[in-house]
Chain A
């Protein structure tokens, strides 16, 4: 064996040991069979389709966040125009991204323009068509993009906090990449996602606001009292029937509330579920406010207590409780409303994790039971092993000793594939197994290509060594062409495909790279070793 060949084998052994170590040697070097099995289970990441679990895709209602910015601007602009004494006819939200301001006093036009340009930089101003002295404000595309991005990031963070608080193992929470308003949530081992779905979806927007009036039996009744137009800065919200208090008859109730909250969920320091002292067996959520909010809340409650004012606890635009303020309240409050222990705990969790910036909607839900996953693995592995055996036996019969060489190359190919997936943390899925099958197929093909070429050369009258030489050289180009073509297509599949298609592409690329190494480099080295041991004129076993 010459020096060069020796180094080849050293290199091959290093790769082999590195790969075997990657599959069974981590995280702790195995000292028992059980630990070895644990290591393998730990290193090979199975996809949900093989392991069982829940897969959810949800859509964030981004328009809502954009519309909210529009609403806030309408309120703020109204305030500013009053403050600057700029007369106007009407300010109206046209749609999520447009605001119409009508009949600006002709003398104040330049003042109006200055105001918009200096303080409402998110908007562009243009004369409104068909309006006399009317202007249309359009939200800048960059601002819209910004809101979308921020909303998506916040939603992802909030959902992550909530799921982590639920204590589920190894969740995946990520953007789908399919569409820019979708989030993927994967919960391995969760056979029934109903509870998790509720927690993820809960809005969690808590507000403490002053009650202006109410309760009313219907929205129309409330409006009628004010002659059809609500006082500025107020809003009608529905209440839970309990919020009307025990003396009231149950049924739908509505309150007229201040639009601006005194305290919001962002001001919370902590929230906890506990038994309710008022209703035996019931639960409530108690919360504590941050220091800054406590000061604000303290002075508000003191002032309201003096005049017998009322305050409402509003959660996700629903009044949970409306009560008269009896004395100054510093930094704590509670939410009641007929909670069970579980729902109170869930709400406390949601409040601690923060509110969603926009509501969400489920688009896709898949739950794979663990028994199905176990079956798929068992059947997939059994079928793969059976077919590998058939192929290997055939190769040995057909190509004799050279067939053994091919078998070694194939096994090594699989080991490298599995090890790389372990090192890269790639996930093995059912379509991934398809990738493995294609890899095996192409591995067999590479060996067959080489061997057939060598046979041709032998038939042409060459002796063993040059025949092997030419065989490998000639087949090399073909193997590179077939492999690169497939890798190119796999890369496109990875870039433009979704989950399962990507899983296929990943295993395929890794497998093909390993294949080029084993069927050209390793197989060649074994041939060379064999040739160096045998007589120059001897027959090659092929």
Chain B
């Protein structure tokens, strides 16, 4: 099977459309960023980079958001935000809620906000814990200790590691099969090694709250700015490293063009992030780095072909050689990018909430990254070549030849 054969497109002739398109995309994205940051005094940064508190809670049923909001307000957390998560196809996550709290300027301890949120949750949704620990938040080791002490299987001194294993299986069943929340101890009946005696012990020693903390993050102001600083510098150093390597393998203008192209990709992707209201987290930084890798990869494949063709085609103009190179590698470009796009699309659709922002960055990035290789990087090299010597008119030494006139005409077109 073959999709592309003998493509003959004058890519460089369309360069000005590409540049216009890029400027348009950049403008749309960055107007959106301007709106968020300057006009609405918001931020693109997630909690990793701006600091603050975030508690990710799962409820056993549909989240009672009004009750929760009231509880938080009564506890003095007026600037808290509550966000429901409902767009995941993942089982049970319709009941998930993220409670956010901005950095408090005061000097109270780092986790004061989290403690208050937990207190509100326990008071409002803790159910009748009556002094018993909550099974939905017990750690395997504590559960194992309790089981060993109570010995529901009457193993006595022969217990050995059995209760440790049982505790691990029980918590694994809770976390993997029931999404972190057990609403009734009978749900654990089919866990290997569980007998009615075990269930009895559990229900007499533990209570079941109707919520579970899935994730809690507290980032202090210093860490936020530090992470921001470091992510930016690591990326810039990485770009610098690539620029030097490409300059060493090709010419410096190729390195510069490749780096400008990936920079362009990152800027456009950030614009889309703002447009679709995603926040930039550490995981998103990993996605941006991945797309830098892809885009760079694409660009180098084309440049490699240009370098090879420069040796093979002595008579053709530089823009023609670039066009030929892009056309020759087009099949590969479409295939690889298409497959990658498919991969990240699968990830975006099925990857769940945690990977959502990450895969969104990848979906945008793969498209923009592929496009920038021929739409931005290649034209930069061509334009630079036009004004700074290099080979422009093929082998122009044979002045006045028909070939030269044809090439010059082509170059002017």
Within 8 A of A (CB), among B171-221: 171-172, 174-176, 179-181, 212-220
9-residue interface stretch from B25-33, B61-69, B333-341: B333-341
Beyond A372-B180, A500-B285, whether A383 also contacts B351 by CB under 8 A is yes
Interface flags, B208-250, vs A, CB<8A=1, else 0: 0000111111111011001100110111011111101110010
Beyond A379-B352, A489-B241, A489-B242, whether A189 also contacts B141 by CB under 8 A is yes
What are the residues of chain B within 8 A of A430 when measuring CB–CB? 283, 286, 354-355, 358
Within 8 A of A (CB), among B267-319: 282-283, 285-287, 289-290, 292-294, 296-297, 300-301, 304-305, 308
- The answer to whether A496 and B216 touch across the interface, beta carbons within 8 angstroms, is no
Tell me if B260 is interfacial: C-beta within 8 Å of chain A.
Answer: no
* Closest CB in chain A relative to B396 CB, distance in Å: 28
- The answer to whether B230 and A364 touch across the interface, beta carbons within 8 angstroms, is no
Bound CA span A437–B336, Å: 13
Tell me if B343 is interfacial: C-beta within 8 Å of chain A.
Answer: yes
A481's nearest neighbour on chain B, judged by CB, is: B300
- The answer to whether A489 and B296 touch across the interface, beta carbons within 8 angstroms, is yes
Tell me if A209 is interfacial: C-beta within 8 Å of chain B.
Answer: no
Bound CA span A128–B35, Å: 56
Tell me if B347 is interfacial: C-beta within 8 Å of chain A.
Answer: yes
Tell me if A440 is interfacial: C-beta within 8 Å of chain B.
Answer: yes
| Residue of B223, B240, B249, B294 ringed by the most chain A CB atoms within 10 A | B223
Bound CA span A383–B90, Å: 12
B330's nearest neighbour on chain A, judged by CB, is: A452
Beyond A371-B174, A482-B301, whether A391 also contacts B283 by CB under 8 A is no
Within 8 A of B (CB), among A367-404: 367-376, 378-380, 382-384, 386-388, 390-391, 394, 397-400
| Residue of A59, A370, A484 ringed by the most chain B CB atoms within 10 A | A370
Q: Which residue of B171, B226, B304 is within 8 Å of A370 (Cβ)?
A: B171
Q: Which residue of B213, B235, B296, B332 is within 8 Å of A191 (Cβ)?
A: B213
- The answer to whether B336 and A380 touch across the interface, beta carbons within 8 angstroms, is no
Q: Which residue of B56, B109, B241, B332 is within 8 Å of A449 (Cβ)?
A: B332
Q: Which residue of A366, A382, A438, A488 is within 8 Å of B350 (Cβ)?
A: A382
Beyond A364-B223, A376-B355, A398-B1, whether A496 also contacts B296 by CB under 8 A is no
- The answer to whether A445 and B336 touch across the interface, beta carbons within 8 angstroms, is yes
Beyond A363-B110, A372-B180, A482-B301, whether A501 also contacts B285 by CB under 8 A is yes
Within 8 A of B (CB), among A383-440: 383-384, 386-388, 390-391, 394, 397-400, 430-431, 434-435, 437-438, 440
- The answer to whether A448 and B332 touch across the interface, beta carbons within 8 angstroms, is yes
Tell me if A456 is interfacial: C-beta within 8 Å of chain B.
Answer: yes
Mostly helix, strand, loop or mixed at chain B's interface? helix
- The answer to whether A179 and B226 touch across the interface, beta carbons within 8 angstroms, is yes
- The answer to whether B237 and A496 touch across the interface, beta carbons within 8 angstroms, is yes
Tell me if B344 is interfacial: C-beta within 8 Å of chain A.
Answer: yes
What are the residues of chain A within 8 A of B219 when measuring CB–CB? 364, 366
- The answer to whether B241 and A387 touch across the interface, beta carbons within 8 angstroms, is no
- The answer to whether B282 and A437 touch across the interface, beta carbons within 8 angstroms, is no
* Closest CB in chain B relative to A404 CB, distance in Å: 14
* Closest CB in chain A relative to B271 CB, distance in Å: 21
Tell me if B346 is interfacial: C-beta within 8 Å of chain A.
Answer: yes
Bound CA span A13–B289, Å: 34
What are the residues of chain A within 8 A of B227 when measuring CB–CB? 498
Bound CA span A159–B410, Å: 72
What are the residues of chain A within 8 A of B71 when measuring CB–CB? none
- The answer to whether A386 and B346 touch across the interface, beta carbons within 8 angstroms, is yes
- The answer to whether A398 and B226 touch across the interface, beta carbons within 8 angstroms, is no
Tell me if A310 is interfacial: C-beta within 8 Å of chain B.
Answer: no
B332's nearest neighbour on chain A, judged by CB, is: A452
Beyond A365-B111, A390-B343, A489-B296, whether A378 also contacts B176 by CB under 8 A is yes
* Closest CB in chain A relative to B245 CB, distance in Å: 5
Q: Which residue of A190, A382, A444 is within 8 Å of B336 (Cβ)?
A: A444
Tell me if A178 is interfacial: C-beta within 8 Å of chain B.
Answer: yes
* Closest CB in chain A relative to B37 CB, distance in Å: 24
What are the residues of chain B within 8 A of A370 when measuring CB–CB? 171, 175, 180
Bound CA span A386–B349, Å: 11
What are the residues of chain B within 8 A of A287 when measuring CB–CB? none
Tell me if B87 is interfacial: C-beta within 8 Å of chain A.
Answer: no
Interface flags, A443-473, vs B, CB<8A=1, else 0: 0110011001001100100000000000000
- The answer to whether A391 and B336 touch across the interface, beta carbons within 8 angstroms, is no
What are the residues of chain B within 8 A of A482 when measuring CB–CB? 296-297, 300-301
- Nearest first, the 9 A-B pairs at minimum CB distance are A371-B180, A431-B286, A379-B352, A387-B343, A489-B238, A371-B175, A497-B234, A496-B234, A492-B238
* 13 contacts across the A-B interface (CB closer than 8 A): A189-B140, A191-B139, A194-B111, A363-B222, A398-B1, A437-B362, A441-B339, A444-B340, A452-B335, A488-B244, A500-B286, A501-B234, A504-B289
Residues of B within 8 A of A (CB): 1-2, 5, 56, 58, 90, 109-111, 114-115, 137, 139-141, 171-172, 174-176, 179-181, 212-220, 222-223, 226-227, 230-231, 233-235, 237-242, 244-246, 249, 282-283, 285-287, 289-290, 292-294, 296-297, 300-301, 304-305, 308, 328-329, 331-332, 335-336, 339-340, 342-344, 346-347, 350-352, 354-355, 358, 362
